[in-house]
Chains A and B, each alone.
Chain A
Amino acid sequence: MRDRFGLKMFALVVLVVVSGSHRINAQFIHPKIKSKETTIRTVVVMPAKVNVVRDSMKGPEGMAAESDELSVRVEKMVAEVLSKRKNVTTLPIPGAAAAPADGDSQQKYNVADFQTKFDELLPKIMKKRSDVKKGRFSMGDEVLNLNLEKGADAIVFIRGAGKKLTGGKTAMRWLVGGVVPAYLRLQIGIVDARNGEVLLYTDPDLAGDPTTAIDRLRKALEEGFKKLPEVKG
């Protein structure tokens, strides 16, 4: 009797530990989207910020060039998935390509400051992701200062962090264990371009080398936007 009770307790503990260690990837949608009060037809995708580090036996090493490449890839893939799966059109960011020499540093600052504003809001969203469903989070009407094209319905912010293991670290993982395998974890927020409300938050992730897992990335993104209603017609 005592043995069976011990076994049940052990199973329970294992279940709790396993479920606790797993992040539940989900999508959280604002009630306005659910009730179809707001429809996302066109978006502006802000430059993605995806950081990857190489985890070596001597600590993490920066992968600036690879991170830049991956950021561009994720950004393009998000636009592609939204277009192909949800019929959502992507518009360009006004003045995004302008260099300070063009006398347009103000627009560059605007974009930078909005990215920062999202970075500030993101930890709060992540703390209680389900509150997106209550319409709790907003970036305020300052989003209008971005002066996007009139038809823009929403702004997409993409953040991500990933890790790639070196050969030594991979060997250590197999031999000793206790090393987190390579991964990429994204955080994507879609914000109303008219009033700054967070309309959707999703955090797709994938296992494996983030710099090469292209198909897995596409799949993760498709999964990540599953709940976003498709635009008809």
Chain B
Amino acid sequence: MFPRKPTNLIVAALCFCVVFTSLGPVTLAQKKTAPVEATPPPVKEEFKFGQVDLEVLEQADLLDVRLERDGLVLADEAANAYLRRIGKSLIPRGLELERVSWRFHILRDPQPNAFALPNGSIYVTTGLMTLLDNESELAAVLAHELTHAMRRHTYMHNRSNRKKFLTMNVMAAVGAYAPGGVVGAVIMVVTTVAPFIMVATIYGYSRDLEREADLKGIDMMISAEYPPEEMVSVMKLLDKDFEGENIRLFYNDHPALDERIKYLSSYLGGRADKVTPQMELHRERAAYFQNVESVMRHDLQLSINAGRARSAVYLAQRLVDFHADSENLFWLAESYRTLGPRSPQLTEKELTNSAKKDAAKKSLKRTNEEEERELLATPAGKENWQRHQQMAEDLYRRALSAENPVPVAHRGLAMLYEKLERGSDAAAEYEKYLELSPTASDRARIQRRIETLKEKVK
């Protein structure tokens, strides 16, 4: 399990940054390029399947079917092939495990997360793939998850849970704070099929099992010539909390970020210095973005649908910085339009645990529209809205003047004008959109909007 960690351990992180800045990519490239020694992770071949384990396996197989059937798995062949290639390169050669068949899937979920099922299915969310910076970081996630499956952590976790009776209480806690949106959809599916897998999905396994997955994951990365220190970078990335949703719960038993960084650094030791040219290639950002650009765009749509506007703005900006084409500019514009009167970043006060809990409770009491109305009644909300609508308009215009402009930018502009009560401008933009996309799947909705706007203008 590779969940986001709600931590606030700045000192340790800074110390780590200082150490690793001196070992940055350029420095590393100049260092020794000696062949890397790696120890393939030993696999507990002695694992004996009991009836309880076979039941877990059956539930895992059903979970695969359910996620696929419910439209939660991304059917992007190129992106899936890319994920599969990385995943397979990490698996030790000749390794065969009883009742494990390796499969790699991308989950349509904007929440950064990944999990492994005991049958060998590894899931990485679009939200996590969009947040990562390079292939090595994705390899770190996969190596960690592969270790969970190789070392039969799910079975061990289930056996231990059955003894501890904890699951029920943890589920109650999840019920109190489970986020909505697509995140909720995945949680709901997982809960139905195997409650204990859901617990692992959100909170991770025990400290010991997570530690083992981190350390063995590093060995696998080295074997496949991925720079192992990227495991630490992923942890820092997962610590980012754009939406104020990482609530620390009593049961959250993961090793804290600083503790993980500490033991990973100590385990890495001198091995972090050994860099091969292949490792350097795996660290390239542009190559990674090129491979997952379609996933990133899909994730932006999901983030916007789920009201994760702050994440959307951050991620879309990265995409535009990489490739400022018409479609990426459109996504950034959409993100700003969705951000509306909200602040682009949460304040330190808003990121405290109690503030996050309050916000979670408050979000249950009002709809998104009500939240926007409340914010627009404040001077700060008005100011944010003015700034964001201006940015969105500029970006839509840029998207339309770029090479191969995407027609949806007209639709975005129309929605913005509609909100600004510029009825005739909005209708004109909607009409342009339909003219350029006569077979658009949202044609009925747009036509209805045009009719309503024209009636209002009359």
Contact = CB atoms under 8 A, between A and B. Distances in A.
Contacts of B441: 106, 110, 145, 147
Interface in A119-172: 119-121, 123-124, 127-128, 136-138, 141-142, 144-145, 147
A51 B188 contact: yes
A217 interface: no
Contacts of A120: 180-181, 184, 306-307
Contact of B195 (A60, A113, A124, A137): A60
Interface stretch (A17-25, A26-34, A62-70, A77-85): A62-70
A62 B59 contact: yes
Contact of A100 (B75, B161, B185, B367): B75
B75 to A, nearest CB: 4
A105 interface: yes
A230 to B, nearest CB: 29
User: How many interface residues does chain A have, given as a range?
Assistant: 35 or more
Given A59-B167, A112-B71, A147-B444, A123 B364 contact: yes
Contacts of A119: 180-181, 184-185, 188
B246 to A, nearest CB: 19
A62 B189 CA distance: 11
A227 to B, nearest CB: 24
B442 interface: yes
Contact of A58 (B66, B162, B181, B188): B162
Contact of B185 (A116, A142, A194): A116
Given A119-B184, A145-B442, A147-B441, A61 B55 contact: yes
Nearest to B66: A64
B78 interface: no
A8 interface: no
A59 B165 contact: yes
B367 A141 contact: no
B194 interface: yes
B268 interface: no
A144 B188 contact: no
Chain A binding site: helix, strand, loop or mixed by DSSP? helix
Contacts of B445: 141-142, 144-145
Interface in B71-86: 71-72, 75
A10 interface: no
Interface residues of B, number: 46
Nearest to A116: B185
Interface string B185-196: 100100111111
Interface in B143-182: 161-163, 165-168, 171, 180-182
Contacts of B278: none
B44 interface: no
A141 B444 CA distance: 10
Contacts of B163: 58
A135 to B, nearest CB: 12
A117 interface: yes
Interface in A29-58: 47, 49, 51-53, 58
B171 A60 contact: yes
A190 interface: no
B195 A53 contact: yes
Contacts of A106: 441
Interface string A202-220: 0000000000000000000
Interface string B345-377: 000000000000000000011110100000000
B262 interface: no
Contact of B305 (A59, A100, A113): A113
Interface string B104-127: 000010000000000000000000
B319 interface: no
B448 interface: yes
Nearest to A195: B448
Contacts of B62: 64-65, 68
Nearest to A63: B192
Nearest to A47: B70
A37 to B, nearest CB: 17
Contact of A121 (B59, B365, B367, B449): B367
B448 A51 contact: no
Contacts of A137: 367
B209 interface: no
A124 B75 contact: no
A64 B59 contact: yes
29 contacts: A51-B188, A53-B195, A58-B161, A59-B161, A59-B165, A62-B194, A62-B197, A63-B192, A64-B62, A64-B63, A64-B193, A68-B66, A106-B441, A112-B70, A112-B185, A113-B302, A113-B305, A115-B70, A115-B185, A116-B181, A116-B182, A119-B180, A120-B307, A123-B180, A124-B366, A142-B442, A144-B448, A147-B441, A194-B448
Given A49-B192, A116-B305, A124-B364, 16 more contacts: A49-B188, A51-B188, A59-B195, A61-B55, A64-B193, A68-B66, A100-B75, A108-B71, A109-B71, A111-B71, A112-B108, A113-B71, A116-B182, A137-B367, A144-B444, A145-B444
Interface of B: 55, 59, 62-63, 66, 70-72, 75, 108, 161-163, 165-168, 171, 180-182, 184-185, 188, 191-197, 302, 305-307, 364-367, 369, 441-442, 444-445, 448-449
